[in-house]
C-alpha cells in the first residue's frame, strides 16, 4: 500500500516534470510564429535573389551554419557569463565565511547565464539579418569566415584574462585567512587558560578535587574546546567545498570556451566549399552533392578517429551533420518543383525557377531554425543535468529556469519591434536554451532519483506537460525529449 510519504514523492516528481515539460513545449509557439513571419515573401526576398548565386546547397549550408553559430555562440556566452559571476561570488566569499548554502550563487549565475544567452542570441540574429539584407549571401559567407577565424585567438585571450581575474580575486579575498587566524588565536588562548588552571591546581594540591568551582570551570573549558573544534571542522569543510566548486566552474568555462573556438569549424568549412562552388557557377550541378558528401565524411572521420575525443568535437560533428541535412532538404524542396515540369500547367520555365527558389529558401530558413532550436535545447540540457548532479537543488534549477524562461519570453515580446525578425528569432533561441536547462534538470532528476515513484511521476509530468502545452506536435516533442535526455546524461566535463 502506498504510504503518504511515497505519494508526496510521486506528486513532487510529477509537478517538477510538468513544469519542465510545459516550459519546453510553450516556447515552441512563439518560435513557430516568428518563423512564419520570417518566411513571408518580403522577408525571403534576399534569399530568393541570392540562391542563384550560391546555389541551393550553398544556401542551405550557409543558413544552417549561421543559425547553428547563433545557437552555439549564445549558449557559450551565457555559460561563460554565468561562470564569471559564480567565480566572483565564490572567490570573494559573498556567501559568508562558514555557510554551505549556495542558493544565492545559483540564482545570480542562472540570471546572468540566461540574460547573456538571450542578449547575445538577439544581437547575433540582428547582425545576421542586417548582413543578409545589405550584402546578401556573399556578405554572410565573409562574416562567417571572419568569425570562425577570430574565435581561436579570442579563446587564447579569454583564458589569459580568466587566469588574471582568478589571481586578482584570490589576492583580494582574505576572508579564509582571517577566519583561520582568528580560530588559531582562540585555540591558543584556550590552551593557555587550561595550562594556567592546571598549574593552579598543582599549586593548590591540598584542595578538594570536588570543588564546585573547578568542576564548573573545566566543564566550561571543555565546551569551549568542543566549540572551537566544531568551528574549525566547519570552516575546513566550507573551504574544501568552495575550492571544489571553483575548480568545477573553471572546468566548465574552459570546456565551453574550447567548444566556442573549435566546434563551428567543420560546418563553416562545409558552407565555404559549397558556397564557392555556387559562386563559380556550379551551384546547380549535382556533382557538388558528391563533393559535399565526401567532405562531410572526411571531416567526420578525422574528428572521430582522434584519440583525445572532446566535447567540442562531438558538437562539431553534430553541427556539420545538421548543416548537411539542411542543405539536402533545401535541394529536395527545389527538386519537388522541378519534377512538376512535365505537367501541363507548368510550361513557363521562369515561373518554375522562381517557385524553386522560393520553396528552397523557405525550407533552408525553416530547417535552419529548427536545427538551431534543437541545438539550444540540447546545450541547455547539458548544463541542467550536471547542475542537478552537483547538488545545486533539482527543484531550484527546474523551477528557476522555467521562471526565467517565462520572463525572457515576455521581455522578447516587448522588445520585438526594436529587435526585428532576426533579432527576435535569436533572442527566442536564447530562451529555448534556458528552457533546456529546466528539462535537462528534470531528466537528470528522473535518472538519478532512487525512488521509482518519483521517477515515474517526473516522466508522467514531462509527457503530460509537453502534450498540454505543445499543441500535439508529437514527433517534434519526442525528438526534443530524446535530445534533452541524451545531453542531460552526457558527462561533458
pLDDT of res. 222: 64
pLDDT of res. 96: 46
User: What is the rounded average pLDDT for all residues in the chain?
Assistant: 78
pLDDT of res. 172: 47
Of 94 and 231, which is predicted with more confidence? Answer: 231
C-alpha span between 439 and 443 (Å, rounded): 6
The three grid cell numbers given for residue 79, joined into one nine-digit string = 555559460
190 lies in some domain:
no
458 lies in some domain:
yes
367 lies in some domain:
yes
C-alpha span between 222 and 234 (Å, rounded): 18
192 lies in some domain:
no
Which one-letter DSSP state was computed for residue 390?
T
pLDDT of res. 469: 78
Can you list the alpha helix ranges (DSSP code H) found in 281-348?
287-304, 311-338
Task: Quickly count: other Cβ atoms within 10 Å of residue 459's Cβ.
Answer: 18
Which one-letter DSSP state was computed for residue 2?
-
pLDDT at 157 over 70: yes
pLDDT at 365 over 70: yes
Nearest to 256 by CA among 444, 81, 120: 81
202 lies in some domain:
no
Q: In a 10 Å sphere around its CB, with 0-12 CB exposed, 13-18 middle and 19+ buried, how is residue 239 labelled? A: middle
Q: 280 lies in which domain range?
A: 4-177+237-488
Average pLDDT over residues 216-244: 67
**Which DSSP helix (H) or strand (E) runs through 55?**
helix 41-91
Which one-letter DSSP state was computed for residue 286?
T
Can you list the alpha helix ranges (DSSP code H) found in 339-473?
349-389, 394-448, 452-469
Where on the phi/psi map is residue 472: left (φ > 0), alpha (ψ -120 to 50), or beta?
left
Nearest to 278 by CA among 354, 331, 332, 335: 331
**How many domains would you assign to the chain?**
1
390 lies in some domain:
yes
Which one-letter DSSP state was computed for residue 340?
T
pLDDT at 392 over 50: yes
Is the separation of the CB atoms in 456 and 10 below 8 Å? yes
State pLDDT tens for residues 302-339: 888 877 778 888 888 888 999 988 888 888 877 776 66
DSSP helix/strand/coil, 16: helix
Of 95 and 485, which is predicted with more confidence? Answer: 485
Q: In a 10 Å sphere around its CB, with 0-12 CB exposed, 13-18 middle and 19+ buried, how is residue 197 labelled? A: middle
Is the separation of the CB atoms in 325 and 371 below 8 Å? yes
210 lies in some domain:
no
pLDDT at 2 over 60: no
450 lies in some domain:
yes
Q: What's the alpha-carbon Rg for the chain, to the nearest Å?
A: 29
Average pLDDT over residues 125-152: 89
State pLDDT tens for residues 416-473: 888 888 888 888 888 888 888 888 888 888 877 767 777 788 888 888 888 877 665 7
Amino acid at each position: 500500500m502506498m504510504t503518504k510519504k511515497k505519494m508526496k514523492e510521486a506528486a513532487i516528481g510529477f509537478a517538477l516534470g510538468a513544469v519542465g515539460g510545459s516550459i519546453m513545449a510553450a516556447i515552441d509557439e512563439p518560435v513557430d510564429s516568428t518563423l512564419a513571419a520570417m518566411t513571408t515573401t518580403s522577408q525571403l526576398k534576399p534569399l530568393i535573389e541570392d540562391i542563384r548565386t550560391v546555389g541551393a546547397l550553398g544556401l542551405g549550408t550557409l543558413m544552417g551554419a549561421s543559425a547553428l553559430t547563433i545557437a552555439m555562440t549564445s549558449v557559450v556566452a551565457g555559460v561563460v557569463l554565468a561562470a564569471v559571476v559564480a567565480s566572483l561570488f565564490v572567490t570573494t566569499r559573498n556567501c559568508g565565511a562558514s555557510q554551505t548554502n549556495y542558493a544565492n550563487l545559483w540564482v545570480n549565475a542562472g540570471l546572468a547565464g540566461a540574460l547573456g544567452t538571450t542578449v547575445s542570441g538577439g544581437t547575433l540574429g540582428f547582425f545576421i539579418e542586417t548582413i543578409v539584407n545589405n550584402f546578401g549571401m556573399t556578405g554572410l559567407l565573409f562574416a562567417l569566415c571572419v568569425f570562425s577565424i577570430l574565435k581561436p585567438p579570442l579563446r587564447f585571450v579569454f583564458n589569459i584574462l580568466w587566469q588574471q581575474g582568478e589571481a586578482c580575486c584570490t589576492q583580494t579575498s582574505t576572508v579564509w585567512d582571517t577566519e583561520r587566524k582568528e580560530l588559531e588565536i582562540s585555540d591558543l588562548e584556550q590552551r593557555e587558560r587550561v595550562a594556567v588552571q592546571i598549574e593552579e591546581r598543582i599549586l593548590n594540591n591540598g584542595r578538594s578535587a570536588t570543588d564546585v568551582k573547578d568542576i564548573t570551570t573545566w566543564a566550561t573549558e571543555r565546551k569551549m574546546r568542543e566549540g572551537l573544534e566544531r568551528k574549525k571542522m566547519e570552516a575546513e569543510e566550507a573551504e574544501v567545498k568552495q575550492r571544489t566548486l571553483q575548480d568545477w566552474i573553471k572546468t566548465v568555462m574552459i570546456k565551453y570556451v574550447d567548444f566556442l573556438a573549435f566546434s563551428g569549424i567543420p560546418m563553416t568549412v562545409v558552407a565555404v566549399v559549397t558556397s564557392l562552388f555556387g559562386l563559380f557557377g556550379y551551384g546547380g550541378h549535382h556533382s557538388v552533392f558528391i563533393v559535399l558528401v565526401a567532405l562531410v565524411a572526411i571531416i567526420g572521420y578525422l574528428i572521430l578517429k582522434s584519440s583525445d575525443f572532446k566535447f567540442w568535437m562531438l558538437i562539431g560533428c553534430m553541427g556539420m551533420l545538421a548543416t548537411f541535412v539542411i542543405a539536402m532538404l533545401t535541394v529536395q524542396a527545389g527538386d519537388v518543383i522541378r519534377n512538376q515540369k512535365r505537367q501541363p500547367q507548368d510550361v513557363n520555365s521562369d515561373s518554375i525557377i522562381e517557385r524553386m527558389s522560393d520553396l528552397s529558401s523557405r525550407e533552408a530558413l525553416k530547417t535552419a531554425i529548427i536545427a538551431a532550436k534543437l541545438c539550444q535545447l540540447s546545450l541547455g540540457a547539458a548544463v541542467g543535468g550536471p547542475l542537478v548532479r552537483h547538488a545545486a537543488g533539482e527543484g531550484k534549477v527546474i523551477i528557476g529556469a522555467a521562471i526565467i524562461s517565462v520572463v525572457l519570453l515576455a521581455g522578447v515580446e516587448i522588445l520585438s519591434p526594436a529587435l526585428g525578425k532576426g533579432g527576435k528569432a535569436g533572442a527566442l533561441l536564447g530562451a529555448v536554451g534556458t528552457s533546456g536547462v529546466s528539462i535537462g534538470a528534470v531528466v537528470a532528476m528522473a535518472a538519478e532519483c532512487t525512488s521509482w515513484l518519483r521517477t515515474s511521476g517526473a516522466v508522467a509530468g514531462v509527457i503530460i506537460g509537453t502534450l498540454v502545452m505543445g499543441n500535439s506536435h508529437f514527433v517534434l516533442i519526442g525528438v526534443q525529449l530524446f535530445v534533452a535526455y541524451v545531453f542531460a546524461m552526457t558527462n561533458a566535463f
